[in-house]
Structure 1
Amino acid sequence: MPLPEGIPTVQLTGRFLTPDGRPLTGQVVVRAPSLVTFGEFDVILGGPVTAPLDSTGAFEVVLPATDAPGMIPDDWSYQVAEQLAGVATNRVYSILLPAEAPEVDLADIAPTDPSTPNYVAVRGDSAYEVAVEEGFNGTVTQWLASLVGPQGVKGDTGATGPEGNDAYEVAVAAGYSGTRAQWLASLVGPQGVKGDQGAAGTPGTNGADGAPGAPGVVQSVNGISAAEVTLDAAAVGAVPATAPGAANGVAQLDASGKVPAAQLPASSGGGAVASVNGYTGVVVLAAGDVGAATAGHTHTAAQVGALATTARAAANGVASLDASARVPIAQLPAAAGRNMWTPQALGFEAWSCDPYTVANPVAKYLKPNRLYFVGFNITESTTVDRIVMFARGYGGVSTNRYRAGIYRENGTKVVESAAVALTMAGQESGSMPAMVSNHIGAVPLAVTQTVLTPGRYWAAWALVVGGTADFAFYHVQNEAPVATANFWMPGTPFARAWYTEGQANAALPTTVSQSAAAVLADHDIPIMALANV
């Protein structure tokens, strides 16, 4: 529906293209002040105007001129918000749309300088303003008068000219910005001070002035008509002063603001109790009379709507809190992290680190009789029966050349494998052909099934018989002079990667210590895991 006829409008157009000439998609949103009132046309305008770009990247919208007469408020501007797909930074800026330019293209008035992202297009100076800038000193009226030269010789009567501006239009041209009704109201000045009363006139000849009349009387008060009206309480809807404390009156309050007992009905208190729980006379109630438990009675948790203490940390019970007011990790579900690779996601129970993050994976060989230790952080009770090494380039040997075990942080041995021969790397079920042919993958050593309680552990691995080329492994950093895994904040140190020399083909040591003089940490770090199959 178009705007009411008579409101001056401006047609705003624009077109948006990519640098190579393809039309952009999106829309241009134009906002006026929250509400604009046109009293002369009985209409209020508000809300944004959204102009979508067509298939050529162009838009067109017709809007009220920002200097339309008679609108409230006046002297405002439109805010333009460009919402273009694929443009990193969309602009928001202000524009004026005066009625003197009925067709405007946005490209002619939108900002282009990034240092001035918001500005308002304005009209040029008027002729009077130009005259002032050139040195004219006077009002608009004086300037207009200066344009009139001396009267010339009377010429022939010309054709009738167009009707000139009325006084209101002249006022607008001189700078007045209100409506016609507002201008007319401005012509009425404030009421003057009341003047003194004039002298009495001379009596007419037809008769003498009469004597002043007597003052008039009130015609009626509250429906009573009399020369002298006397109102009682009923006439003004009030309570008579005699009503407080009287029969059929109102209650009277005592000094404490309460109704005295004498004014209360006999049934509201003050009489003797007839019976209590069916007893009369001097009544003594027992616990059973009021539904209470007898002395010494013991209630169960269920009877008082509570949980028994045995429900704490029990199946279908409630979680307990440790000394730090946190739920112990043993009571948390063994759930894998969301959308991420965990040891469990690849069939392991734990690993020293994610093999996928290994840097510079050059094949390195285990040195015979060297016992390697790799750290594990066990956060919940975990059952294991395999110690796993990640290997590449290993074809397998038939002799019992390898041992592996698990140690607690305090150095005591938890479990140990027998001396075993190993199958080739990449032979685990489901290995892809490239892993089989290149001998890349997990190499497990079986141990007795063991439950590891929460704590820190080391997995140990040794080539006890054979040469340096019998086994190769991945590592974290090639030729690392110091293992990057070994650092910690103040507290009990726990080295995640270290080794000792001189491990013969015999059982692994019963206890170990990372602080022993023979311990070294200058090797590449094997990647190990724990599994339960």
Structure 2
Amino acid sequence: MYLQLPTVAEGGELTVWRNSDAVWSATGGIVGPKGDKGDQGIQGIQGIQGPQGDTGATGAQGDTGATGATGADSTVPGPTGPQGDTGDTGPQGPKGDTGDTGPQGPAGQNGEGSGTVTAVNAVQPDAAGNVTLAATDVGAATASHTHTPASLGAVATSSVGVASGVASLGTDGKVPSAQLPTLADPNAVTSVNGKSGPTVTLTAADVSALATSTRGANSGVAELDSTGHVPNARIPYFGFTPADLGLKAWAFDPATAQSGGRALTNRVLRVTAIPVRETITVSQVIYHVLGYEGTGLNSGSSIGVYNAAGTLVARTPNMTGTAVMIDVHNSGGQTVTCALQSSVTLQPGVYYVGFYPVIGTAANAPVLMTADSTNAAPVVTLNTVKPFGLISGLTSFPSASISVSALETDPIKYWAGLN
């Protein structure tokens, strides 16, 4: 059974349907004549992009193409031939002058190869594919090249022994002294106590010392005498000094003497020690006489000055009568000067004054001032000095020396001075 549809307009399509077993199916259309082209419709909305399909299998490899044409012949020199055996070395001759540059050798054979040359030693080929190399392109010298000492790694003879050149060697193989630099002495002193040279002048303060001008000056330092002691003039003294009373040295301050005095004993050397603190020159021995009459001393009487070893260094003349010691009859006595035969210079030290009397009339003998003489105990010392003492049993004045160790102790301590 067929279904007949209405008439189709020009350009339309008529579809014929068939019913088979109550099922309609299209059997094909009847195409009519093509109608006029209609107006273009509005572009529809782009649809959603579908998922990417699987990659297809790789196709089979194509056939190899034909070999290209052979390239142009190379202009690069061929390899150097093998080196021959080295001959025996002959004796070295004198150095000759540099010869002229020889002619350039023939070019080597063209190398063989295939392919396209793009560059040789960084030199590009020309339009025809040719590469032309210069001598400098292969590290060679040009035909007009002249070698210099520097290019040969040598030193020019004009640079030997001159400034900014090289040192020459003498016949001994050593650099001459004229070409050696003046070297600083490694032991040279560059500074002294922080003061730089070349000439350094130091003051006493630079070496933590006192200037010599402070020696013996106020607010300075005390000098030492020849014995290594401070001079008496530099020693502070509480009370009178010998100089305060017009003397140069004494046994003790007379203010400490006792009232009254003691008479001398016939032919007994009475010794008094006197300390000398500085170098002095003396010409007199001083005693304080409480009473004396000229008939008290006979010939042979004398006073001597002895050093610490007991050697006589000065003496008075013979003291007969009043030739050396004057009469003293006034109340309280008198300080009497007894002149030495000649003046003498005494260095610092201990000296002994010894009075040796030869008494005529005992009642008229000299009575001399003393310190306290009531105690018979000797003056204690820790050395060989004996401040007071006597030597008995003499028959004459000891005109050469006395034995200090032989001094006998005695309570009588006579005062004496030097001037």
Normalised TM-score (structure 2): 0.44
Larger Rg: 2
More helix by share: 1
TM-score of the superposed pair, with normalisation by structure 1? 0.35
Which has the higher relative contact order, 1 or 2, with Cα contacts under 8 A spaced 6 or more apart?
A: 2
